[in-house]
Amino acid sequence: MQAYPHIYRVEGSTAHEGAVTLTSAGLDALESWPPAEFGGPGDAWSPETLLVGAIADCFLLSFRAIARAGGLAWTSVRCSVDAKLDRVDGVTRFTHYTVNADLNVPAGTNVEAAQNALLKAKKSCLISNSLLAAGEINAVVHTED
């Protein structure tokens, strides 16, 4: 890992109408539109879905690193993130999110250690740690036969 601070740059551009195009060096361009709730088409990534997706992505990458460092055996993990956007004191912002995680581990795996790795991933996620929104996790560990 590189020393801190890390600097990330994304550029955005748009015309009077249409998508916002996001670019970053070495990456494919990504189009973003307003979500349906704000008059957008509802079938494209939006700033809101990108932010919630960043929580899910960061949680999964954090879990993978924690499991690797702790020698935890696992076969698959998936999560969904539900986030609530609300108006508070005249400001629209995300107020709460829930990470719903399902982890599959081989038979004989220490389920408590697996559960703790999921909880640690939630605590370690730099994206969710950067938000004002309150967060929680529903973590389920499934043992494979």
| Of residues 96, 80, 78, the one with CA closest to residue 136 | 96
- Find out whether 22 and 28 touch, Cβ atoms under 8 Å: no
If pLDDT is split at 50, 70 and 90, which confidence band does 1 have?
A: confident
Cβ burial, residue 130 (10 Å; 0-12/13-18/19+) = exposed
Within a domain: 125: yes
Within a domain: 103: yes
pLDDT at 125: 97
Within a domain: 40: no
CATH number at residue 129: 3.30.300.20
Within a domain: 12: no
| Interatomic CA distance for residues 60 and 53, integer angstroms | 11
pLDDT tens-digit map of 86-101: 999 999 999 999 999 9
In this predicted structure, the answer to whether residue 145 has a pLDDT above a threshold of 90 is no
pLDDT tens-digit map of 64-123: 999 999 999 999 999 999 999 999 999 999 999 999 999 999 999 999 999 999 999 999
If pLDDT is split at 50, 70 and 90, which confidence band does 21 have?
A: very high
Q: Please report, as a single letter, which amino acid is at residue 110.
A: N
Average pLDDT over every residue of 42-50: 97
Number of structural domains (the chain) is 1
Structural domain harbouring 89: 47-143
Find tokens 């005249």 and name the residue. 90
Within a domain: 24: no
pTM beyond 0.85, yes or no: yes
End-to-end CA distance of the chain: 37
| Interatomic CA distance for residues 34 and 37, integer angstroms | 8
φ/ψ of residue 113, rounded to 5: -65, -40
Average pLDDT over every residue of 27-39: 96
In this predicted structure, the answer to whether residue 137 has a pLDDT above a threshold of 90 is yes
Angle at 136 between CA 135 and CA 142, to 5 degrees: 145
Within a domain: 28: no
Q: Please report, as a single letter, which amino acid is at residue 109.
A: T
Within a domain: 107: yes
Average pLDDT over every residue of 28-33: 97
